[in-house]
Structure 1
């Protein structure tokens, strides 16, 4: 089993708005990411909620994890999600954020397929020579977030003994965060949608 952990707790300060609630293609950002991870093969989705309420009616069977300490940073959101998941640990955890509502289902499916071939490895998509997101962690790596002195996912992965693998991807969302109003305008213009 592979569970998805969708990080949606931040305030969206650079966006100046509640990022989980922003609309694209007639759905919220968070609903798009949940759909991508579920349709891509994750058996369960967990969504970490913090600064803003979430549109639970759009999230299907996803489990919402309230994180009152969200202001302490994204890594604490990862820790809150891993703590919730730890009651029924899966084989792996796919960590995704709502910064990428345009994440392709195929990207998720390809990472899961790669992990099944080498389940001890940490998997990331690779584009233009750069590692991107989402990140697929074996459970033993994800669980280490609860005891690690790391302050970011990058630091956590660098400190782990797990092999790190990449998978070539042409998905623009792999490297493309939608963090500002300009990013959102570009996404909408490229897509031809109005939000």
Structure 2
């Protein structure tokens, strides 16, 4: 099969999300200028740079305008990336519901807020890790906004560390596949990098 992206725009999203797998999920919390806490999952998410520590996520713009997350980040220049582990998978799914901007997904999914140290938006209480970010840049790419944030404070639960370092063997991070399919990091293997 050969796909020409110029001729297959109707199903290109399905093709990309079906082949670029698994994708980590950035569970992004923001606060509107009116004080409403927003929480939404984005599987177009990743780390971009170490120095400075930059994370990115990329919301798809809605037909009627920008997502609440994008609007909030543009207005307040702050967000939090919460990691989604197995125990938070169902709550994360609940926060993908399209709610009016006056309603909070934290309340919709019955999630507790935890205060952040350096930014205004709250973290999701109990998550394995969260990155408080200040806006670094927003780049408009087609129908998406690529949001870049500099991590200014990082929270890591002690039970996912060994000798003061993050231990990925203690994490069951949820990844997005396609459609309603997800996976998590439990089946691991190691390889030595060649010299």
Output the TM-score relative to the length of structure 1.
Answer: 0.30
Larger radius of gyration: 2
Q: Tell me the TM-score normalised to structure 2 length.
A: 0.30
Greater share of strand residues, 1 or 2?
2
